[in-house]
Copies of this chain bind each other. A is one copy, B any other.
């Protein structure tokens, strides 16, 4: 603990603000190049679904048209951040058609330099294009394809304020903040070798990157190569670096800006963005001048040394994010120290050792007093300090200890480092196939998570889908009230409030009220020539009896106005006497003070999702069932069916697992069956009467099979109520027979139709309902 500023540490501990130390402002920027299924750099354009790359805040291109960059919004915690990067990973990898995201910082099989496509921009992006062309000339396009992760971080204002109150020495808050971040930066520069060792994950590259495998490179079978003991090509001299290791002054913000400016004046850099240091001091103003940074002060730090980790779908393990954060805290807690030019040069040497020779058992670095020291021993000292810090703070102690102990293992056993593991795996298979297999696995994993927005699984699936679709298009999303599924969407200057995915500004309040009121809905539909179960409400049995004549030649349902589980309902499909009618009324009136006599409409029920005068999807629901194979029991068939990836428990998935409970048992018993019954091949056995998805029912898409006439009627019904977004429940006798006056009937209009059911049916296609809602809100 000799390096720790104990006064500082204690002041934080007593200030009871440890929690705030872990609630910072976190952001990630991650690049991946797109590759074809054979591991070659994709030459196709950035997918149109992501919209204008200048305007989508989440999904852009970096240098190359083939290089997708995802950017999380500012998150309050690492957990939130990790969820976001995972969502972006899932969204992008499922939206790039037949291609994969290359999970490695080092590029896949590359074409010639000139064939690498620079990102294409609209007229508005002219400068972006010019800048990229300059880079291309100066560094070559291949180098620009090295992809990685930038980690942006700042403490919460409240935390800085607390520190300022207890440690400020008369300077302004801004000056104090600059001081804090500069201290962290100086220390980070000195000790970054530690993180490179632990996170470096680009040890092998493809021959096409350097155009040849040189003498000191081990060549592998598939034309890939590696430097022995390398951790990170990307951080090495062959990586994404300036022509030289420029020395920059970090003593004060003014000096920092001054030294960058000198590099620009000397023609070494084109602008400040071209300074590829391991860490950058930033203001939240993007593309702002250095003067602006001076004025605003340092608002966050950008850590630039993290490789894509191909061992993780998201390019980084969450444990490593915690490790980085702990490391930053450690840098904060260190005693004040200088970063002279010579110290900076030492740090650069140590950086090289970590990238190139980190895996040598006997590698050494220069310690902070400038003496040679064992790499391993110096790293262990840091590990011990980190453990000490964690022990002193009452925050996720066990978890954080594990994170550090895992780092310790990597220090003690170099074969456990990501670089070593990756190298070994590549030697065992090949550079391309190792990464392609990973990419495929990750694609499948994303696919399994398609219906959920990680970190927001408490939201309704419809809302999760809507948000994912919004993010994909670059529509800003914000959850205003999680319990209510209330979100705000923003694009350019347009703001839309949406609740439960389909309650939007596009429907007027009175339209919703019409749909909400069953009596009014029927009235409105009837007036518009739509067939609804005709019927009447009665408040007295006498009034109802008097209308016997009206109904006696029809098929009718007699029911209480409000009914649960079909209690009190009588159905007459054939002729019935006044006595029968009276008895049915008596039963209905036992259950409610209002009874309904309604025409019985036969057929199957279909849900039409109508959005802006278009039928987006049509769904029919079937009660929980299994289909026999002549061999397995019902129990076994249910178990098998429940393995379906869309089936889960507790409405977290589009379909629910079928239960083998009492109700199912009773229902089978009524059919003379039990769970051990072996259905014949092709025999369908139902386990429930109701077709609810929530009790294991199947949803089957009929959008393409439905006769057009019913779609036209569904649209007409929605229009009658004035609805933009509407679930139309229609009874249909035969979906292949054109609609006529008596073979269908509208049961209900739903003003808050679920969209997820049309995206993830048990049988059928994803109808992209979320995108349709967004089309209506923001245009196509």
Contacts and interface: CB of A to CB of B under 8 A. Distances in A.
Contact of A504 (B506, B509, B520, B549): B509
A76 interface: no
Contacts of A162: 549
Contacts of A751: 509
A572 interface: no
A484 interface: yes
A16 interface: yes
Given A481-B520, A517-B480, A519-B481, A496 B509 contact: no
A499 B480 contact: no
A508 B510 contact: no
B520 A510 contact: no
B484 A722 contact: no
Contacts of A481: 517, 519-520
A497 interface: yes
A79 to B, nearest CB: 16
Contact of A16 (B158, B523, B546): B546
Contact of A480 (B158, B498, B520): B520
Nearest to A503: B509
B486 A520 contact: yes
Contacts of A506: 508
Contacts of A265: none
Interface string A710-726: 00000000000010000
A279 interface: no
Q: What is the count of identical protomers in the complex?
A: 2
A480 B516 CA distance: 13
Nearest to A500: B513
A437 interface: no
Nearest to A548: B16
The main secondary structure of chain A at its interface with chain B is mixed
Contact of A546 (B19, B484, B498, B509): B19
A755 interface: no
A70 interface: no
Given A503-B509, A510-B504, A484 B19 contact: no
Interface in A689-733: 722
Interface in A472-510: 480-481, 484, 486, 496-499, 503-510
Given A480-B520, A508-B508, A508-B509, 4 more contacts: A486-B517, A497-B520, A499-B510, A499-B513
**Nearest 7 interchain pairs by C-beta:** A505-B510, A505-B508, A497-B510, A507-B509, A499-B513, A480-B520, A509-B512
29 contacts: A17-B546, A158-B549, A158-B550, A480-B517, A480-B519, A480-B520, A480-B523, A481-B517, A481-B519, A484-B517, A486-B513, A486-B520, A496-B510, A497-B513, A497-B514, A497-B520, A498-B510, A499-B510, A503-B510, A503-B513, A504-B508, A504-B509, A505-B509, A505-B510, A505-B722, A508-B508, A509-B509, A509-B511, A509-B751
